[in-house]
Amino acid sequence: MLLRLYDGANTVGGNKIYLTDHRHGVFLDFGLNFVEYNKYFKEFIDLSFARGIHDFLEMSLVPKVDIYRKDLYPLYLRREDMDKIQVDAVLISHAHADHFGLVGLLDIDIPIMASPETLALIKAYQDSGRTKEHYSVIYSVIREPYENEPFYKDTRALLKKKRIGNNKAADKYMLFRKLIPTEAISANFKEFITNLGTGSKQAYKTEVAKTHLKFGDPEELPWKIESYTVDHSIYGAVGFVIHTDSHKIAYTGDLRAHGERSRRTWEFVQAAKNSDVLIIEGTRVSSDKEHSYTEEKDVKENCSMVVSEYDGKIVMADFSSRNFERLTIFREIARENGRKLVITEKDAYAISGLLSAGTDIDTDSIFIYPKAYLNTSWWQKELSNSELWKDRYVNPIDIRESPGEYVLAFSLYDITNLLDIKPDGGVYIYSSTEAFTEEMELDFITLNNWLVKYGIMSVGFKIVDGRPVFERGYHSSGHATPEDIEKIIDIVDPDIIVPVHTEHPEWFSEKYGDKVKTGREIIF
């Protein structure tokens, strides 16, 4: 067996871990390495998608292997110079872009295996986000070649303008990737995954799309692959246990043991017991001991206390847009304080996806703030017409007149909504990760300028001498503590430990010696 770490070692994120017996192979995640990406690109400096896969290869964001969509190869790119490997499937651990964010570049015939919750979230954010090839995971609009030119023609505009309007053309240009859900799926889930809108501006129809979406099952993969729900800062996260003819390999993805699904993490660990190889994340391992805040006890209690102190004033809560456990906590805080939680349309649409996947989310007291757009997308129209959400919209005047009735789930990217709401004081609770780059620190300067303008206090961060200083207790990490990492390793008791998603692989070596393998290629 060969384990090849194309990315994800000695760094946090960007996992691209290839496992093969030289006949079959799978990738464990295929994510975007934001550390490398952010070295070269920012808001107005980005990859050119006109060149297909070229820029990703040139900047070493993807490995030089011949596994990508044929319509993304420039004609001058010599595919014969690229390594040939067999990829039977990509196993996606969860719906964070540093784990799935480059799957859209892969050959459309390569299936993906993930939990229904993960598939629903990826679909929701693909529908509602900016169209970029590497995020086009569930479905892709296939390009066609120009005559005698090195690049391929983008066909999205043709579809939208209905220059191509028959089923045959939709079959050619609009393709779904084969999906392998890790659990049984419902008719509602299939409807959500296959829906591309039925509005008059859509050149492709739902019925056509459905005929090209194939759901599979784990038995179709070359080895026995088991998935287990784990606790993380996003719903749908799983760990995988892979049984080949001769080995047992466990992959944690990202996990923790101090959130809503902590019990499920330990169930995975028990299933991984006696694995030959344990591929384990180590985001938080270091020589420094840090307090681990829990979601229910620490985060909820601390944030609830802040909300109770601002009776009659506006309250804003800033947390990761994909942290639905935190969203649920703020819904409970809002309701306990006689308020309603107001979320963005994108978050509401993602909740609809999670509900279709069977997630238990209480939507009582959750309302939607419709941001002003010049054009409304098909998914926004479907959201506003749905039975669940159609009567759940609030406008800025409602909030301006009764600020004490709401908790607004707004981040920096929603802060311009204050121009319409025009609040008179209140509080902004920052309940997310600390800044770890200079660019992120500058974002907090901008955020603070908005809060000062409207007389809003900040909790969770302060600006001191021109830099953000963060207050603990309002956020809980999505990753396991060093103590829990040790406990996981002790229970699994593997022969080989492969640390990934960490800047401190030496932590593992110091504790577990020769068991730890940190090379790019590991043969076992």
In 3D, which of 222, 283, 205 has the Cα closest to residue 8?
Answer: 283
Phi, psi (5° rounding) for residue 261?
A: -105, 30
In 3D, which of 48, 68, 69, 67 has the Cα closest to residue 59?
Answer: 48
- Confidence check: pLDDT of 165 > 50: no
CB 94 within 8 A of CB 252: no
Question: Could you tell me the domains of the chain?
Answer: 1-222 (3.60.15), 223-291+477-524 (3.60.15.10), 295-470 (3.40.50.10710)
- Confidence check: pLDDT of 180 > 90: yes
- Confidence check: pLDDT of 169 > 60: no
Give the up-direction half-sphere exposure of residue 14: CA atoms within 13 A in the CB hemisphere: 20
- Confidence check: pLDDT of 76 > 90: no
In 3D, which of 482, 483, 521 has the Cα closest to residue 504?
Answer: 482
* Encoded tokens for 145: 């070649």
pLDDT at 434: 84
pTM (two decimals): 0.93
pLDDT at 219: 65
Amino acid letter, residue 400 = R
User: In the predicted model, what is the mean pLDDT of residues 144-150?
Assistant: 66
Between the ranges 198-212, 283-297, 330-344, where is the mean pLDDT highest? 330-344
User: In the predicted model, what is the mean pLDDT of residues 78-89?
Assistant: 92
What stretch of H or E contains 180? strand 179-181
- Confidence check: pLDDT of 174 > 80: no
User: In the predicted model, what is the mean pLDDT of residues 340-347?
Assistant: 97
d(CA 145, CA 316): 49
- Confidence check: pLDDT of 154 > 80: no
d(CA 247, CA 270): 17
pLDDT at 288: 57
Alpha helices by DSSP H, listed for 41-115, are: 54-58, 97-100
- Bridge partners of residue 516, in order along the sequence: 497
pLDDT at 221: 73
d(CA 349, CA 384): 10
pLDDT at 164: 41
- Bridge partners of residue 508, in order along the sequence: none
- Confidence check: pLDDT of 203 > 50: no
pLDDT at 297: 81
- Confidence check: pLDDT of 160 > 90: no
pLDDT band of residue 215 (cuts 50, 70, 90) is: confident
| Predicted confidence (pLDDT) per residue in 220-233, tens digit | 677 999 999 999 99
- Confidence check: pLDDT of 524 > 50: yes
User: In the predicted model, what is the mean pLDDT of residues 471-500?
Assistant: 96
Phi, psi (5° rounding) for residue 347?
A: -65, -40
- Tell me which of 132 and 463 has the higher pLDDT: 463
In 3D, which of 117, 20, 35 has the Cα closest to residue 67?
Answer: 20
